[in-house]
Structure 1
Amino acid sequence: MNQLNCLPQDAVLWGHDILPAAAASLGKHAIRRPLTFTVEPLLGFHAQHLQPHVQGAAGIFTDLPPHAPDTGVRRALDACVRAGADSIIALGGGSVLDAAKAVSHLHHRQTGRYLPIAAFPTTLSGSEFSHYFGVTETSGPKPFKRSHAVRETVPKVVALDPLLLRHTPRELLLSSAIKGIDHAVEGMRRIDADHPHAMLAAAGVARFFSVLEKWPGQLDTAQALATGRITADDLLQLQLAAWQSYFFPASVVYGLSHRIGHILGGTFGLPHSVTSCITLAPVLRACGARYGDKLRIFCAGRAGHDAAAMLADRIARSVTQLGLPDRLRTLGFDRAQLAQVAALLRQHYPDEVGDLGDGHDAALDALLESLW
């Protein structure tokens, strides 16, 4: 039986220069007395573009480390309780969104009430459209980023305005686009090519490539805009691509690229978005038989028989042309730690490791070695 599972989002608002109107409308969607979760570099942006238009704000909280460690999530929950916050505005990337969802979930466990979230995303991974969030557990012998899925924590309102991306550091912005492509592609793991996710994800990936493949080398976003090489509409296309790539997250289950990324990030501290630049293309090649012909939906108009390899090659070319990291060694990752990564994958994600097919244990070691 085919099935489409939907999440309880109220509204997605998008367009140029919509932030004042979007912020002013939050009360219509039960975003009242919000505490804003953000990071220090975005305080000026918040003060200029959001704060003047938000009614009854409860304050701002910025102590949000990468990968949402459980200690940081508890501090954020305490801040919400102390401020008497009834909702959360999340301004930032995936770690800010993860923390907001985790706090909403824990607030429900503590009080019986979820804190509704309004998302103003500054990256392109698409976390604002999902009920998934990762929290890095710090009490064990090594940190471990555990995934959670709580449908009530999906942001009630999402605002997409190119202005949100203008000051995002180049590597973070572009690598988060590769993470968005990762959501589109690995979302095919347990569905067929006629599923609504597949159709929207294919359109999203095409949008991503239409901008990424013309992005000028080594120019940050402000420079690319100033020279006219990239336009504000290109940035909006990237935001819409992230949405299409992650349109039905409750209906899909992700795979080995995501799982390796969680371990590299949560346990070893690598930047979350950058991991997909390193993992996605090699994982596609290694797990191509698992996906079969259904990845052809991402290769429209391109000749060839091995859709997984074709798509992997295109992703790898984009990563290279954009100057993004494509090997663990470029991030200073110790090769000796690959054995620990393999052990954690086998312990926590045996199904995803099984996507490598017969001889998956040896194939996993070879795959991880190729990532280094």
Structure 2
Amino acid sequence: MEKIEFLPQDNVIWGRGILADALGQLTQYGIKKPIVFTVEPLDALRRSSVAPNLPNSVGTFVDLPPHVPDFAVNQALEACEASGAKSIVAVGGGSVLDAAKAVSHFHQIRHGTYLPIAALPTTLSGSEFSHYFGVTETAKEIKFKRSYAVKPTVPRVVIVDPELIRGTPRALLLSSAIKGIDHAVEGMRLVGPDHPHAILAASGVRRFLDVLSSWPANVETEEALQRHEVDLDDLLQLQLAAWHCYFFPASVIYGLSHRIGHILGGTYGVPHSVTSCVTLAPVIRACSTFYGEKLRIFNDAVSGVEAASKLSGDIEAVVTRLGLPARLRDLNFDHDKLSAVATLLIENYPREVADLREGAAQRLTDLLERLW
């Protein structure tokens, strides 16, 4: 028996040049007296394109480090309390969105009400469509990124406009697209090929790969736009691909690629956006037996093994073509830490490690060596 679980997300508004008008409608969706969450590199975007169209804002909070450390969540919650904020407008990528969800969650614990969120995503991971978030616990000697799944924290409104991503640094933007593909593929763990997640995810992956396969090399997006090597419709297609890859988040669950990424990022500080560039293709191959025939939804392969091989090869080819990191050594990750990564994975994510099937512990060690 399969099922779809829906999230309490009221509206997704998308299109070219719709940002100002969409912001003007936020009060009708319950976004009142918002505080804006963002990061310092995006504050110019906030000042130029968000603040003028958000007259009822009560403040801004920008001190949101990567991987959502617990102390930053506490500080952001205190900022909400001090400003009298009744909602959050989150301008940024996965870390900003995770921080907004975490603050909404802990506001409910402390005050009995969730803070509704409006998301203005500037990357392509798709976090704005989900109720999942991670908070890195920093009190112990070994930091650990704790995962949460709290349905009422899903952003109530999402605004998708290519103007939001045209200034995102190239490496961050394109690596976050691979994270979006990761959501599509690992979302197949609990569903079959006839499930709506599978159908939409396959559409999203094709859309991602079609656009990225002709993306210009070694040039920032704004320059590529000026050269007419890409256009705003290309950017919008990438944003819609992220949505399709993660259309039913409540019906899916993370897999081993994500879990390795959580350890690499939360514990060892590897940038969240690039972890899937390193992990996804090798994990697809390593877990091909677990996924079986499911991955055929992503291509026309005649068998599950062939489908896994083709999909992982397509992803690797795009990562290589775009010049994104493909191995942990590219990120200067210490090889000696691989055994500790394996231990943390086995202790905290045994079900995902079990996707490697027989001899999972040894196969995990071998996989991590391949990632390095």
Provide the rounded CA distance (Å) in 2 between the counterparts of 1:124 and 1:318.
15
Give the Cα–Cα distance (whole angstroms) in 1 for the partners of residues 195 and 356 of structure 2.
Answer: 23
Gaps of 5+ in 2: none
CA–CA distance in structure 1, aligned partners of residues 98 and 174 of structure 2: 20
Contact 2:24–2:54 under 8 Å retained in 1: yes
Q: Distance in 2 between matches of 1:223 and 1:295?
A: 36
The alignment of Structure 1 onto Structure 2 pairs a total of residues equal to 371
**Helix, strand or coil for the counterpart of 1:123?**
coil
8 Å Cα contact 1:125-1:242 kept in structure 2? yes
Quick check: 1:32–1:55 contact (8 Å CA) kept in 2? no
Q: Note the aligned Cα RMSD (angstroms).
A: 0.9
Give yes or no for contact 1:125–1:176 (8 Å, CA) kept in 2: yes
Whether 1:309 aligns to 2:283 is: no
5 Å-filtered alignment, 1:59-208, equals 59-208=59-208
Deviations 1:148-200 (A, max 9, x none): 00000000000000001111000000000000000000000111000000000
Whether the 8 Å contact between 2:296 and 2:302 is mirrored in structure 1 is no
CA distance in 1, matches of 2:344, 2:5: 30
1:8 aligned counterpart, secondary structure:
coil
Matched ranges for 1:201-350 at <5 A? 201-300=201-300, 306-350=306-350
Amino acid of the structure 2 residue aligned with 1:99: A
Cα distance in structure 2, aligned partners of 1:306 and 1:140 = 44
- The 1-side partners of 2:213 and 2:101 are apart by 33
| CA–CA distance in structure 2, aligned partners of residues 364 and 154 of structure 1 | 33
Unpaired segments ≥5 residues, structure 1:
none
Q: 1:55: how far off?
A: 3.1
Give the whole-Å Cα distance in 1 for the aligned partners of 2:225 and 2:290: 40
Query: Secondary structure of the equivalent of 2:189?
Result: coil
Instruction: Measure, in 1, the Cα distance between the counterparts of 2:314 and 2:292.
Output: 17
Q: Could you tell me the TM-score, scaled by structure 2's length?
A: 0.99
Quote how far apart the aligned CAs of 1:219 are: 1.3
User: What is the alpha-carbon distance in structure 1 between the residues aligned to residue 10 and residue 139 of structure 2?
Assistant: 36
Please report how far the alpha carbon of residue 294 of structure 1 lies from its aligned counterpart in structure 2 after TM superposition. Answer: 1.2
**Separation of aligned partners in 2, 1:319 and 1:44:** 30
Q: What is the CA distance between 1:54 and its match in structure 2?
A: 1.1
C-alpha displacement at 1:13, in angstroms?
A: 0.3
| 1:56 equivalent in structure 2 | 56
For residue 44 of structure 1, report the CA deviation from its aligned partner: 1.3
1:255-293 CA-to-partner distances (Å, cap 9, x unmatched) read 000000000000000010100000000000000001111
1:103 and 1:45 map into 2 onto residues whose CA distance is 22
The whole-number CA distance in structure 2 between the counterparts of 1:270 and 1:223 is 28
AA aligned to 2:136 is T
2:8 is aligned with 1:3: no
Distance across 1 between alignment mates of 2:362 and 2:210: 37
In the alignment, the residues of structure 1 paired with residue 361 and residue 41 of structure 2 have an alpha-carbon distance, to the nearest angstrom, of: 43
- Once residues 157 and 167 of structure 1 are traced to their aligned partners in structure 2, the CA distance between those partners, rounded to angstroms, is 22
Equivalent position amino acid for 1:39 in 2 = V
AA partner of residue 69 (structure 2) = P
In the TM superposition, residue 303 of structure 1 has moved relative to its aligned partner by: 6.4
Helix, strand or coil: the match of 1:35?
strand
| 1:5-31 C-alpha deviation (Å, 9 max, x unpaired) | 000011000000111001110001000
- 1:91 is paired with a residue whose SS is strand
How far does residue 254 in structure 1 lie from its aligned partner after superposition? Answer: 1.6
CA distance in 1, matches of 2:129, 2:270: 23
Inter-partner Cα distance in structure 2 for 1:49 and 1:216: 27
Distance 2:254 2:199 in 1: 17
The answer (yes or no) to whether the contact 1:258–1:276 under 8 Å persists in 2 is yes
Q: Contact between 1:124 and 1:176, CA under 8 Å: does it hold in 2?
A: yes
- Counterpart in the other structure of 2:23: 23
- TM (norm. structure 1) is 0.99
Q: Distance in 2 between matches of 1:310 and 1:41?
A: 37
| Paired residues for 1:24-39 under 5 Å | 24-39=24-39
Secondary structure at the counterpart of residue 188 of structure 1: helix
Note if contact 1:33-1:55 (Cα within 8 Å) is conserved in structure 2: no
Task: Quote how far apart the aligned CAs of 1:94 are.
Answer: 0.4
2:14 equivalent to 1:14: yes
Q: Would the aligned equivalents of 2:207 and 2:241 in 1 still touch at CA under 8 Å?
A: yes
- 1:368 alignment partner, SS class: helix
CA distance in 1, matches of 2:322, 2:53: 36
